[in-house]
Amino acid sequence: MTSFNKMLATIEQQAAEINTFATRLDAAYKELESTNARLKETSFKDEVTGLYNRRFFSLRLEEELSRYRRFNHPVSVVLLDLDGFKAVNDEFGHTVGDDTLRDVAQILMKHSRGINVVSRYGGDEFAVLLVETSKAGARLYADRIREVVAKYPFSHGKIITASFGVASLPDDEAGTAEDLFRAADEALYTAKRAGKNQVAATPSPQRVL
């Protein structure tokens, strides 16, 4: 083999090694991207129910308010709090309590559109962001969920009910995402005080004729 052929063989070998290294590097990069995507997804999900968590809900609420300001599409927030859930945990334990939360999560997902954001906000409280939904539509949605929850055959055999608070734009004077959420929370408190197992909404402004 001439020195030229030896040099050519060496170059070809080095090129093959570089190509192998590049392939491995590309595979490692794709695996890293996949891992990061899974981590990001996990950071937005509630471990018990698999729903989105408070962090993701808050981010999406901010986005929808920005969209509302641009296009004036209605947006509603529905808060749901289970009535007497602590008694379930106390009597049957947290495992059964978690099963109950998962059942409620499935009910919410089954009766929600794909563009809506269903989240477990914390404890036995759930928050639903209803995109392009008026206050009237949000109340109908909440009342439908209320009826399904009240009739649902939970594994522990007890009847579980839920109270709901509804707030919407443009009906409510909410300048920020925090304002809109607070309005829904106040409506939820009204439903609780009024006897639970019902839907309450912030009062719509009176029109001057």
Q: Residue range 107-132: average pLDDT? A: 96
Q: Is 143 a catalytic residue?
A: no
**Spatial distance between the Cα atoms of 125 and 101, rounded to a whole number of angstroms:** 9
Q: Is the bond into 170 cis (omega within 30 degrees of 0)?
A: yes
Q: Residue range 196-200: average pLDDT? A: 97
Other C-beta atoms lying within 10 Å of the C-beta of residue 18: 10
Which phi and psi angles does 74 have, rounded to 5°? -65, 150
Mean pLDDT over the full length of the chain: 87
**Residue in 127, 124, 71, 78 with CA at minimum distance from that of residue 102:** 124
Greatest Cα-to-Cα distance within the chain, rounded to the nearest angstrom: 101
**Spatial distance between the Cα atoms of 208 and 98, rounded to a whole number of angstroms:** 49
Dump pLDDT digits (tens) for 65-115. Answer: 999 999 998 999 999 999 999 999 999 999 999 999 999 999 999 999 989
46, 81, 83, 124: the active-site residue: 124
